[in-house]
Structure 1
Amino acid sequence: MPKFLIQATYTPEGTKGLLREGASGRREAVERVVAGLGGTVEAMYFAFGEDDLVCILDLPDSVSMAAASLTVKASGALRTRATPLLTLDEVDEATRRQVPFRAPGT
């Protein structure tokens, strides 16, 4: 199952909601969304700095990730970035593929 790194920053309204329901309430909400799409939450951490929340999610496919991302962003409570994560085996397979490419100016 594909893995995705989620980095999120709460908006002021989202932060107010976090203060009301706490971290465990947000964990439940994330798990409900991900489980509803057929996935699991591998890890979820709160942070401070540029990102307020970091998660690693296992989801069936990119379309499921896009559905979750669109729904969360539409709420206006978070700004998010989703990065597909590759296994070592996937990168090894990619290094064995021939890709025709010509750099600009060459």
Structure 2
Amino acid sequence: MPLYLSRFRYTPETWARLIANPEDRRNAARTYIESVGGTLHGFWYAFGPQDGLTLWEAPDDVSMAAVALAIGSGGAVTDLETTVLLSVEETLAALRTARGITYRPPGA
């Protein structure tokens, strides 16, 4: 199954709710991804432009998109970005396939 890295920021209101009532959000995240047949591999908070990161495994892009849409529509997070991760083997296969593609730069 494909792996996905999500980065997000909580709204100030979300942080205020978490300060008033601290909650382990890994359990919620696990429920969301498991509802589409996936797995939560990690959930971290961070300093910097993002407040948190999650590593998910989902059956396909549509399933992951559904989870991201559901989370994003809830209003608790902003700047939710999800990146599909490729294994080294998948990248090597893409490189081999790229050898057979003739690219023409714009205007050339």
Normalised by the length of structure 2, the TM-score is 0.90
- Which consecutive unaligned segments of at least 5 residues does structure 2 have? none
**Structure that is richer in helix per residue:** 1
Aligned match of 1:86: 86
Specify the code of the residue in structure 1 equivalent to 2:65.
Answer: A
Give, in whole Å, the separation in 2 of the partners of 1:38 and 1:70: 16
Q: How does 1:66-105 map to 2 (within 5 A)?
A: 66-79=65-78, 80-97=80-97, 98-105=100-107
Specify the code of the residue in structure 1 equivalent to 2:63.
Answer: S
* Moved >2 Å (runs of 4+): 16-23
- For the residue of structure 2 that corresponds to 1:75, the secondary structure is coil
Q: How does 1:19-38 map to 2 (within 5 A)?
A: 19-24=19-24, 26-38=25-37
Give, in whole Å, the separation in 1 of the partners of 2:59 and 2:74: 23
* 1:17, distance to aligned residue in structure 2 (A): 3.1
* 1:88, distance to aligned residue in structure 2 (A): 0.2
Aligned match of 2:4: 4
Identity of aligned residues (%): 35
